[in-house]
Amino acid sequence: MGTDHVGLLKRRALLSASAGAAMLGLVRPSPLQASPSHRIVVAPGQAPLTGPRRRATDVWAYGGSVPGPTLRVRQGEPVSIVVENKLDQDTTIHWHGIRLPIAMDGVPGISQPPIPPGGSFVYEFTPPDAGTFWYHPHANTLQQLGRGLAGALIVEERSPVPVDRELLWTIMDWRLRPDGQIAGGFGNRMEAAMSGRIGNTVTINGVVPTDEPVRAGERVRIRLINAALARIMALRFEGHRPVVVAIDGQPCDPHEPKDGRLLLGPAMRIDIVLDMQGQAGRRYGVIDDYDEDLEYSLVQLAYDTAPPLRSHPLDAPVRLPRNPVPEPDLASAERRELVLQGGMMGGGGMMGMGGMEMGRAAWAINGMSMTGDGHAGMDPLATFELGRSYVLGLRNDTAWSHPVHLHGHSFRVLSRNGAPVPFNQWADTVFVEPKETVDVAFVADNPGDWMVHCHVTDHQTAGLMAVLRVGKPGKG
Ligand code: C2O
Ligand code: CU
Ligand code: CU
């Protein structure tokens, strides 16, 4: 490419920064209200999950909607969120993936006393990282999340990648009865020792989706959030090549996922940039084929008949600015291993629990089962020195897959069964397959008692959870 051409492109890029923005509606940080304070009422409500023609589903909702209101906040600026509990049971909110002080982490008994019915709590924190996060209860999570309590929390970049539009897909999974109401039977012990409560109805932004209208030639950023209790998804965009730009809110080297499939376990987020290279007027499926026998089309990209917005994909960088997550020092890092144990085998017996009585626990980490949603008086499984780097080896000795989540930190995903993980991936929830060991590394820079647990909610509440202490006892 000659220098003249480069100069021309540069000039064109400059032009499009002003004129283009106005003409194409390029996404800019949305204007925020003067005060970055929010109020969320948690209460029973109704949601038209299956469309306007059917009876609405009785749900529990944040701010009267499912999912709850999308909170858009700015990186490095304080937010305050008043949460009022109008349920008839205790609740809390956990700001999943945000690196915040332990007192704001929403774990009952550890971070705060639960918010009683009629009570309220003010969450205040300053998100250090830009990215796609979400919020959900950390009390009676199986029912509260399963009945609709979840919402997106978007921390805006100071300089977002230029795209024509941004979409947010908060994906939830429901087990509905034929009359459209939520089926009971939460916490079924057999299910808890297997795949967890997988539903029969998947919604995007609170409705069973049919079409996502798109325009040929446009570039769209899609923020994908898996807010399901237990459903693991592998999304394929027929006829398209999504580029992953962030995982769990943390930017990575932009890359096309292996086999074009986006693996999205419960609580995981992926930001993609998608050039709409399909044909005007046509439709393309977004397929979830995680379970090959139960493959289904989640939604259709429905192309407008208008001619393409541009003839070539937008010539603009898609790399997001790095967040200020401290880089672990691998040379001095100490290694700790967490062994995931338990669950049903193919034959029906329990695995690797060392003769442990099943009781309420179906799972364990290093032989210890912490059940429920978090509570006071739990001994830490391991203690980490404040400011030191650690490698955590997550070893899955079970026959099931586990999205393992650590509170209060983001970690670098180093390797899977010894093979280096490419593209500089960071995460707060990492998928660990059966018989796999995933090494992650982090700087233990956030003092407190932090939960580490599987985010298949039934697994968490049935024992696949532990406390990791950062700093000295009593300091958390
Ligand atoms: Cu998103 Cu302890 O959870
Ligand atoms: Cu979390
Ligand atoms: Cu699990």
Helix/strand/coil (H/E/C) assignment for every residue in 254-310: EECCHHHEEEECCCCEEEEEEECCCCCCCEEEEEECCCHHHCEEEEEEEECCCCCCC
Any atom of ligand 1 within 6 Å of the Cβ of 138:
yes
Tell whether domain 3-303 is in CATH 2.60.40.420: yes
Any atom of ligand 1 within 6 Å of the Cβ of 96:
yes
CA angle 105, 468, 375 (to 5 degrees): 55
Measured from the Cα of 429, ligand 1's closest atom is: 1
- Structure confidence at residue 353 as a pLDDT band (50, 70, 90): low
What pLDDT score does 32 carry? Answer: 45
Q: In what order do the strands lie in the sheet with 269-275?
A: 201-204, 165-174, 219-226, 269-275, 243-247, 250-255
Identify the nearest ligand to the CA of 141 by its number.
1
What CATH number does the domain located at 334-470 have?
2.60.40.420
Any atom of ligand 1 within 6 Å of the Cβ of 469:
no
**Considering only CA atoms, which of 325, 298, 148, 160 is closest in space to residue 238?**
298
Q: Is the pLDDT of residue 135 over 50?
A: yes
Measured from the Cα of 267, ligand 1's closest atom is: 1
**For residues 38-43, average pLDDT:** 97
**Torsional class of 346: left (φ above 0), alpha (ψ -120 to 50), beta (otherwise):** alpha
The protein residue with its alpha carbon nearest to ligand 1, atom 3, reads 96
- Structure confidence at residue 13 as a pLDDT band (50, 70, 90): very low
- Structure confidence at residue 391 as a pLDDT band (50, 70, 90): very high
Does 223 or 36 have the greater pLDDT score?
223
| CA–centroid distance, residue 372 to ligand 1 (Å) | 12
| CA–centroid distance, residue 465 to ligand 2 (Å) | 12
| CA–centroid distance, residue 233 to ligand 2 (Å) | 19
Any atom of ligand 1 within 6 Å of the Cβ of 269:
no
What pLDDT score does 361 carry? Answer: 84
Q: Could you identify the residue written with the tokens 């995903």?
A: 413
Where exactly does CATH 2.60.40.420 map onto the chain? 3-303, 334-470
Does 250 or 353 have the greater pLDDT score?
250
* In contact, 406 and 99? CB cutoff 8 Å: no
- Structure confidence at residue 214 as a pLDDT band (50, 70, 90): very high
**For residues 277-284, average pLDDT:** 97
Residue 467: phi, psi to the nearest 5? -110, 130
